[in-house]
Amino acid sequence: MELHKILYIDDELRNTQAFTASFRRDFNIFTADSVSGAKEIIALHDDISVIISDQRMPSQTGVNYFKELKDTHPLIIRILLTAYMEHEVVAESINSGEIYRYANKPWDYQNLKQIIHEAIQFHTLKKENQLLLLQYKELFDNNPLPIVLLDTQGEKIVAVNKTFIDFSELEDGAIDLSFHSFFQNLPVDFVHHHCPHVAYLNFETAKNTIKKIRLNIRKITLNSSTNYLVSLEDLTERIKFEKNKMNLISQVQDEEREYLTMELHDGLAQELVLLKLMIEKAIGNEFESPKFDGVREIMKSITNHLRDVTYKLSPPDLMNNSLTNSLTYLFNKINSVNIISFSIQYNNCEKQIDSLDKERAYNLYRIFQEFVSNSIKHSKCSEVEASFSLEKNELLVTLKDNGIGLKLDALTNGKGLQNMEKRSKIHNFNSRIVSTINEGVTLTLQIPLKLKH
């Protein structure tokens, strides 16, 4: 096994000879009688593990030389020998990291051997740590994710990788910023108090581009200090893709509904009419007699049910009228056949409501239908109220009932509520459902306004 290289510095020849004689079987020994001689040896042997130096030498003290060596060769472990009572100097050097340990002269073989072995172990650990840091730096620099390294308080940016510079649209070198400058809506100490943590946020780049991101925060240890590593995952395109996918699914479903509506109306409905005519022709006026009341009721029920299904698949009032007229018709129709009171207030927002494009109007109408249906079936309410209002460039919609409310599992697993949520996401409606037991359910929607194309 290759022996570790040890450099011993002392201006007295008998001391270097004694050290070599004592430790030549344990280590690969180099000696020098001055700092300049030590520098020449280090220049030829850059893999020296430990340097042991006498404190008192003619040209330069051991402490002063170790101050230089700490900067030029930080991996070499430094041990100081002293025969004088210089405890303050030695203690200061140890505290500042300039020397690893010290030993008194004359040294004891067993004691010094133990100190050297511990120093070699520390040297090995530092080399392994340096290798890990180099590997980490390569991973940091070449990572496809934008990464930020923060200080021990989680506030000041220590380093960023090239991906982050590109992602945040920064000029090269323009990274002397606080982390808070990128996330001004977060508390300054957010990272420090939320680690480990995953957050979903809006990120504004240096060129004012807004991106949807997932923020991952964790602690790492570098050179015995704890720092914060923050990675950013861009979700903008993924969210856009999901919205486009949901919109496409909705469009396909709408086309299927229109096709089914047409088939039911032009096919099954016409066949029912033909069946009625054929029965009347076969038995004449007798079909109107009491003994055929049951048949007529069944045919009437089938016709009404077919009309109801057709209406739900593609409401003719929405197809042929404005959204406000369609909603008013919907509420009036339900009021005429239900003991629950349904009311709707437009609050002078009719123009904005009717300016919604066809797809958004259709999905908003379906959300109204779903909420009303849930209230009738499950809420045991006596009133359902709907209202519109304007706030800047948004249309605010509120739907609420005064029923028994919904439990948590119904809020998260209910098919009707899931449908409303899906329809909201398709068109970027900001939706929120609040349920209070024995007080009812409230649905609020924030709809960004844009005119029809």
For the beta sheet containing 157-160, the strands, ordered from the edge strand earlier in sequence to the opposite edge, are: 157-160, 147-150, 225-234, 210-222, 197-204
Q: What are 202-236's pLDDT values in tens digits?
A: 888 888 888 888 888 888 876 667 788 888 988 88
Residues 327 and 447 in one domain: yes
Average pLDDT over residues 267-286: 74
Of 120, 138, 156, at which residue does a domain stop? 138
**pLDDT-derived band at 196, boundaries 50, 70, 90:** confident
Per-residue pLDDT at 160: 83
Q: What percentage of the chain carries pLDDT values higher than 90?
A: 27
Per-residue pLDDT at 262: 60
Of 106, 138, 170, at which residue does a domain stop? 138
Highest mean pLDDT among 2-11, 119-128, 141-150, 196-205: 2-11
Residues 259 and 345 in one domain: no
Per-residue pLDDT at 453: 42
Residues 179 and 162 in one domain: yes
Of 298, 314, 330, at which residue does a domain stop? 314
> Looking at this protein, which amino acid is placed at residue 349?
C
Q: Are the CB atoms for 49 and 77 separated by under 8 Å?
A: yes
Residues 322 and 379 in one domain: yes
Average pLDDT over residues 120-145: 78
Cis amide prior to 106 (ω within 30 degrees): yes
Supply 57's token pair: 């030498």
In this predicted structure, the answer to whether residue 248 has a pLDDT above a threshold of 70 is no
Residues 307 and 421 in one domain: no
Average pLDDT over residues 146-156: 83
The better pLDDT of the pair 338, 72 is held by 72
User: What CATH number does the domain containing 187 carry?
Assistant: 3.30.450.20
Q: Are the CB atoms for 112 and 119 separated by under 8 Å?
A: no
Q: What is 238-280 written as a DSSP string?
A: HHHHHHHHHHHHHHHHHHHHHHHHHHIIIIIHHHHHHHHHHHH
Supply 415's token pair: 């098919």
Q: How far apart are CA 403 and CA 377, in angstroms?
A: 11
**pLDDT-derived band at 82, boundaries 50, 70, 90:** confident
The reported pTM is 0.42
- Domain holding 188, by residue range, is 143-234
**Tokens 């530092």 sit on residue:** 126
Average pLDDT over residues 75-89: 78
Average pLDDT over residues 69-76: 89
Average pLDDT over residues 70-87: 82
Per-residue pLDDT at 180: 74
Of 206-215, 244-253, 286-295, the least confident: 244-253
Closest CA relative to residue 182, chosen from 193, 136, 197, 199? 199
**pLDDT-derived band at 297, boundaries 50, 70, 90:** confident
Residues 326 and 440 in one domain: yes
Residues 131 and 158 in one domain: no
Mean pLDDT of the chain: 82
Per-residue pLDDT at 330: 85
Q: What is 177-232 written as a DSSP string?
A: -BGGGT-TTS-TTHHHHS-SEEEEEEEE-TT--EEEEEEEEEEEEETTEEEEEEEE
Average pLDDT over residues 263-272: 65
Burial zone of 19 (CB within 10 Å; 0-12 exposed, 13-18 middle, 19+ buried): buried
Residues 196 and 102 in one domain: no
Average pLDDT over residues 149-157: 81
Residues 286 and 387 in one domain: no
Q: How far apart are CA 77 and CA 100, in angstroms?
A: 6
User: What is the total count of domains within the chain?
Assistant: 4
In this predicted structure, the answer to whether residue 353 has a pLDDT above a threshold of 90 is yes
Highest mean pLDDT among 75-84, 135-144, 173-182: 75-84
Residues 158 and 277 in one domain: no
Q: What are 369-386's pLDDT values in tens digits?
A: 889 888 888 888 999 999
Per-residue pLDDT at 190: 79
Q: Residue 341 to residues 86, 110, 298, 334: CA-CA distances in angstroms?
A: 94, 97, 30, 9
User: What CATH number does the domain containing 369 carry?
Assistant: 3.30.565.10
Per-residue pLDDT at 452: 46
Closest CA relative to residue 104, chosen from 83, 88, 79? 83
Residues 11 and 112 in one domain: yes
Q: Are the CB atoms for 133 and 124 separated by under 8 Å?
A: no
